[in-house]
Amino acid sequence: MSDTRLPALHETPIPGLFVVDLDLRGDNRGWFKENWQRAKMVPLGLPDFGPVQNNVSYNDEVGTTRGIHAEPWDKFVSVVHGKVFGAWVDLREGPSFGAVFTTEIDASKAVFVPRGVGNSYQTLEPDTVYSYLVNDHWSPDAGAKYTFLNLADETAAIQWPIPLEQAILSEKDKAHPRLTDVSPMAPRKTLVLGAGGQLGRALRAVYPDAEFATRAELDLAAPGLESARPWRDYGVIVNAAAYTKVDLAETADGRRDAWAANVAGVAALARIAADNGITLVHVSSDYVFDGTADGHPEDEPFSPLGVYGQTKAAGDAIVQTVPRHYIVRTSWVIGDGANFVRTMASLAERGVDPSVVDDQVGRLSFTADIAAGIRHLVDTGAPFGVYNLTGSGEPVSWAEIARRVFARTGHDAARVTGVTTAEYFAGKQVAPRPLNSVLPLDKIEAAGFTPRDHLVALDEYLTQE
């Protein structure tokens, strides 16, 4: 044997199911192959699925037939010895439900089987050894999450080389349901943390089928987080939870609480995401920068001024160790809840003439746009990494925002007096603020998402109040 195959990937009619030509090398002694080689196969287009367990099935007779089983994890199946006729049926929710693909595989081929696709095979040679590389651990209760299809289902109409009445089947496989009686396997769920906040409420509109949890329902800093949920059931976690009391974070108690929520809790969540192949979306802040630059691109080194910014920067650094992550960095957040715009509108209505800082510059970020941008990144499979996500348009100061709120609500904008940050906070114990919070949007726009102009969005927001 002298055959050498370079790894190659072939698509099939089932989305996400791939046939792989393996690197098989042989000589007069036999053969050697790289059955799974991450550094070669991921660049070809296979998911970096993180296998954790290898199972092997030995079949001594021709015609041994196993399946059709769809498990709640991904599989990389191959033949160690012999040859099989493989058959796969898509048993996931969606338009490809019921799609079928068949092929013969021997030691030179493997098949990547995504979660929810039914896997089955029939041996064509004696002493066939079949291998499963999977990305979750088998457990006694795992079978309750399987989805099954009868090998003889008339809709799938698999043309088994050896008729099933002559093949070797288990009684369990014979009893599996027909396609019309199969409950499709649902996709992995989305979990949104920080459900009670402004962004959490906005995320309900773009993730109507997600699970939402407040801190009282799921405290990231509490012990036992690893067993708090069946984490393999989740495909995406959006972390909109954070300690955001910027000034209180400068106190002894506030500092401890900020580090617990924004660092220790995020570290625990990051471990869970990495261990379970979850995409972690983490919301960050302009406070990770000191505000001395004209704008803060995604790759600018951290330079936080206060405790809150320090904890957010530490959390960002931790999240970047998760293989599948999006860090969404935003600023000047406005949504459904107490915020600067509502405060200014209330002052205008009550006849209060405020002094507002005019040397802090940035753009408003409306939670509806942040939520839509998060959904866009996840759904389009944008490259993992850090993305700035604020409103677009011309940056302005807080004082200019206040004057616009006064004017748009029918009040005299001249009632707003501009002052410097130093003047405004003179004699007060507060956290330092970045003076420039402008976050360039080139990267997220290149990913296909353009936020609304923040001043236009402000006008729309005020008409809804």
The domains of the chain, with CATH numbers, are 8-181 (2.60.120.10), 189-464 (3.40.50.720)
| CA distance between the termini of the chain | 76
Torsion angle of the four alpha carbons 379, 384, 386, 390, in this order, in degrees rounded to the nearest 10: -10
Active site members = 69, 132
pLDDT at residue 5 in the model: 58
At residue 23, the pLDDT reads 87
**pLDDT for position 140:** 63
pLDDT at 192: 97
Structure tokens at 188: 């992995």
Torsion, Cα of 143, 147, 152, 157 (10° steps): -150
pLDDT for position 144: 66
Q: pTM for this structure?
A: 0.87
Question: Which ranges of the chain have pLDDT less than 50?
Answer: 1-2, 4
Tell me: the pLDDT tens digits for 280-308?
999 999 999 999 999 999 999 999 999 99
Pairwise CA distance, residues 102 & 95, whole Å: 19
- Taking the C-alpha atoms of residue 445 and residue 377, their distance in angstroms, rounded to an integer, is 11
Sheet bearing 189-193, strands edge to edge: 211-213, 189-193, 234-239, 279-285, 325-330, 385-388
Instruction: Give pLDDT, residue 32.
Output: 92
For the chain, give the number of residues: 465
Burial class (CB in 10 A: 0-12, 13-18, 19+), 187: middle
